[in-house]
């Protein structure tokens, strides 16, 4: 993915034009996050309407994030080859059309297929929007603040998802959840007219083996985790795909060492700060989106809340996404990414401790709110903090690849969070998982950033 240095200043001569261009990027990325959360509260209505099997139902949510994660790196290559603006506009148009098709799905199989295609369109939006954001903000300090603002405004999608989805389900059923996307995409397309024109450069070859192996391995792993939650870890439908996924990742490692232009260059992964950013992004999305899915479903099934009631009850988890990233960018600029990322991972572990105390159906609401706020802190500190750290730590020639990798692993973390936490069924069980994952992430990030400090000093 290119930083589009060939852009001429006259394209951005007007401050108003620059603000409208930024709004176009934020609105488009809002769609991506909206579709990671808007379907959560519609799951019970979807079950009643389409009567899917227990194995198929989680894929109505996860098909989007699995394909999204697998294609993000390749979408960065396409943005380089064809131009970030062209990829962004094309992905927006596809997102609108595919959302309308999902709304008309007659059965869960076609809905899963539509969600997968929607994930492919979403994959084109994020790397291209980041490339355009870097073009709009060439100064590093301004870029860090802009990433925080972009994450906060885009986070309206994650915050609005459960509430908007719940309201739409009560108004007319789960199909309305998808019909909200086309008007937003049209608004983003109108704003996209203000975006700078970026030239395409065929500087990177398309790593087809890497694309197929990474997407296939992630899909097999997620499928195995979902089946493990449904049938148990000893069931062949669970461990079989997991073994296949591990073989796929091993093969991917071997293949990527031999190709001329690997999806994820080894030189990038060799940087400790980059590894810390990747771990923080994966764990924070695992905790945030997995916890959001579990809580939305649990509030309806265990406490009998309506879809709208579940969405409103999850606002302590989702609303901070609209506010905190503004401050996270400033915190990273002032104190560095290390304390921000460590605090975020500690918040994930704290959220696990609080959820572990939520046994049974009659959970005190203040305790649930405290757990939601902790998970919100994990997401709002670590996600924009990791993006800012990647922007500063990756070499200029690998900046686009680094952002593509970061967003790819974010979506992988989201998919695995829904697969693991969503199938546990209890808040307490999810809490124990988050305690372990959060604590391990703190140790890994502390070690990686300490090595980076020693190397720099």
Specify whether 44 is located in the same domain as 171.
Answer: yes
How many residues make up the chain in this entry? 457
Q: Which residue is listed with tokens 């829904």?
A: 418
Q: How far is CA 129 from the centre of its chain?
A: 14
Does any domain span residue 201?
no
Residue among 108, 110, 111, 112 at smallest CA distance from 53: 108
Domain boundary among 149, 167, 196: 196
CA 233 to chain centre: 26
State if pTM tops 0.85.
no
Q: What is the DSSP letter of 260?
A: S
Q: Of 233, 239, 209, 208, nearest to 221 (Cα)?
A: 239
Q: What is the pLDDT along the chain (457 residues), one digit of tens a residue?
A: 344 433 343 344 456 667 777 777 878 877 887 777 677 778 888 888 888 887 688 778 778 877 777 677 777 777 777 777 888 889 999 999 999 999 999 998 999 999 999 988 988 888 788 778 777 777 766 776 777 777 767 667 766 777 777 788 888 888 988 998 899 888 888 887 777 666 555 555 667 788 788 778 877 777 777 677 667 667 787 788 889 989 988 998 888 878 777 777 777 888 888 899 999 999 998 999 889 888 888 888 888 888 778 878 888 887 887 778 778 877 887 888 889 999 999 999 999 999 999 877 788 889 999 999 999 999 889 888 888 888 778 776 676 677 777 877 887 787 778 778 877 778 999 999 999 999 999 999 998 888 877 776 6
CB atoms within 10 A of CB 364: 10
C-alpha to C-alpha distance for 342 and 324, rounded to whole angstroms: 16
The pLDDT of residue 17: 64
Are 315 and 235 within one domain?
no
Q: Are 165 and 172 in contact (CB under 8 A)?
A: no
Instruction: Single out the residue in 171, 196, 221 at which a domain terminates.
Output: 196
Contact at 8 Å (CB) between 144 and 392? Answer: yes
Which residues form the domain of 377?
A: 263-456
What gap in Å lies between CA 381 and CA 152, rounded to an integer? 11
CA dist., res. 61 & res. 411, Å (int): 12
How far is C-alpha 406 from the geometric centre of its chain's CA atoms?
9
361: nearest Cα among 304, 317, 429 = 304
**Residue 331 falls inside a structural domain:** yes
- Residues 174 and 254 placed together within one structural domain of the fold: no
Whether 253 is covered by a domain: the verdict is yes
Flag whether 3 is in a domain: no
Cα separation, 429 vs 449, in Å, equals 31
Considering the domain architecture, whether residues 249 and 340 belong to the same structural domain is answered as no
Residue 195: both structure tokens together = 């975006």
DSSP string of 325-386, one letter each residue: HHHHHHHHHHH-HHHHHHHHHHHHHHHHHHHHT--SS---HHHHHHHHHHHHHHHHHHHHHH
Residue 384 counted as domain residue: yes
Q: Is residue 412 part of a domain?
A: yes
Residue 56 shares a structural domain with residue 183: yes
The CA distance from 288 to 325, in Å, is 14
Q: Are 248 and 282 part of one and the same domain? A: no
Residue 33's domain is classified under what CATH number? 1.20.1250.20
Token couple for 223? 């499928």
Q: How many CB atoms lie within 10 A of CB 18?
A: 16
Q: How many distinct structural domains can be found in the chain?
A: 3
Do residues 28 and 82 both lie within one domain?
Answer: yes
Task: Please tell me whether residues 235 and 353 are part of one structural domain.
Answer: no
pLDDT at 4: 40
Q: Kindly tell me the burial class for residue 231, based on how many C-beta atoms sit within 10 Å of its own C-beta (0-12, 13-18, 19 or more).
A: middle
| CA-atom Rg of the chain in angstroms | 20
Name the burial class of residue 8, with classes exposed (0-12), middle (13-18) and buried (19+) by CB atoms within 10 angstroms of its CB.
Answer: exposed
Q: Are residues 298 and 248 in the same domain?
A: no
Helix (H, G, I), strand (E, B), or coil: what is residue 197? coil
Residue 234's alpha-carbon distances to 228, 230, 237, 385, 418, in angstroms, are: 8, 11, 9, 38, 20
- The span from the CA of 35 to the CA of 421, in Å, is 18
Asked if residue 7 belongs to a domain, the reply is no
**Among all chains, which residue has been given the structure tokens 């108004």?**
171
Is 95 in the same domain as 141? yes
Residue located via tokens 């190397």: 455
Tell me, yes or no, whether 8 lies in a domain.
Answer: no
- Residue 416 Cα to chain centre, angstroms: 11
Q: How many CA atoms lie within 13 A of 325 on its CB side?
A: 28
Helix (H) or strand (E) holding 221: helix 208-231
pLDDT for 310: 80
Residues 192 and 288 in one domain: no
- Last-in-domain residue among 169, 196, 223: 196
Whether 101 and 238 map to the same domain: the answer is no
Residues 328 and 150: beta-carbon distance below 8 Å: no
How far is C-alpha 108 from the chain's CA centre? 23
Q: At what angle do helices 399-424 and 365-393 cross, to 10 degrees?
A: 160
């Amino acid at each position: 993915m290119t930083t589009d240095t060939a852009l001429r200043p006259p394209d951005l001569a007007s401050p108003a034009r620059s603000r409208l261009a930024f709004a176009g990027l934020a609105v488009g990325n809002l769609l991506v996050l909206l579709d990671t959360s808007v379907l959560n509260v519609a799951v019970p209505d979807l079950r009643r309407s389409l009567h899917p099997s227990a194995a198929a139902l989680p894929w109505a949510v996860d098909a989007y994030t699995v394909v999204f994660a697998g294609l993000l790196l390749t979408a960065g290559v396409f943005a380089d080859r064809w131009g970030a603006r062209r990829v962004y506009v094309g992905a927006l148009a596809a997102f609108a059309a595919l959302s309308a098709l999902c709304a008309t799905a007659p059965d869960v199989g076609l809905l899963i297929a539509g969600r997968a295609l929607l994930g492919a369109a979403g994959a084109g939006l994020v790397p291209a929007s980041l490339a355009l954001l870097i073009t709009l903000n060439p100064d590093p300090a301004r870029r860090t603040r802009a990433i925080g603002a972009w994450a906060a405004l885009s986070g309206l999608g994650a915050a609005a998802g459960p509430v908007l989805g719940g309201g739409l389900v009560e108004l007319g059923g789960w199909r309305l959840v998808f019909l909200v996307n086309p008007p937003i995409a049209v608004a983003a397309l109108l704003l996209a007219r203000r975006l700078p024109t970026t030239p395409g450069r065929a500087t990177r070859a398309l790593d087809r083996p890497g694309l197929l192996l990474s997407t296939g391995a992630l899909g097999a792993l997620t499928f195995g985790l979902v089946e493990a939650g449904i049938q148990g870890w000893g069931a062949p439908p669970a461990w079989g795909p997991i073994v296949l996924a591990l073989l796929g990742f091993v093969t991917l490692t071997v293949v990527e060492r031999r190709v001329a232009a690997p999806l994820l260059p080894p030189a990038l992964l060799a940087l400790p700060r980059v590894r810390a950013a990747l771990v923080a992004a994966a764990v924070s999305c695992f905790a945030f989106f997995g916890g959001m899915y579990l809580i939305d479903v649990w509030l309806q099934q265990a406490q009998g809340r309506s879809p709208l009631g579940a969405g409103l009850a999850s606002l302590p988890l989702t609303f901070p996404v609209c506010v905190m990233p503004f401050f996270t960018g400033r915190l990273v600029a002032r104190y560095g990414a290390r304390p921000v990322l460590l605090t975020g991972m500690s918040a994930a572990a704290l959220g696990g401790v609080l959820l572990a105390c939520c046994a049974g159906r009659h959970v005190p609401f203040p305790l649930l709110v405290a757990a939601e706020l902790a998970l919100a802190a994990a997401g709002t500190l670590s996600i924009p903090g990791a993006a800012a750290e990647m922007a500063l730590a990756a070499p200029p020639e690998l900046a686009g690849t680094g952002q593509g990798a970061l967003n790819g692993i974010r979506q992988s973390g989201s998919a695995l969070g829904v697969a693991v936490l969503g199938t546990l069924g209890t808040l307490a069980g999810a809490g124990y998982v988050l305690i372990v994952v959060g604590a391990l992430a703190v140790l890994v990030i502390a070690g990686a950033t300490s090595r980076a400090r020693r190397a720099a000093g």
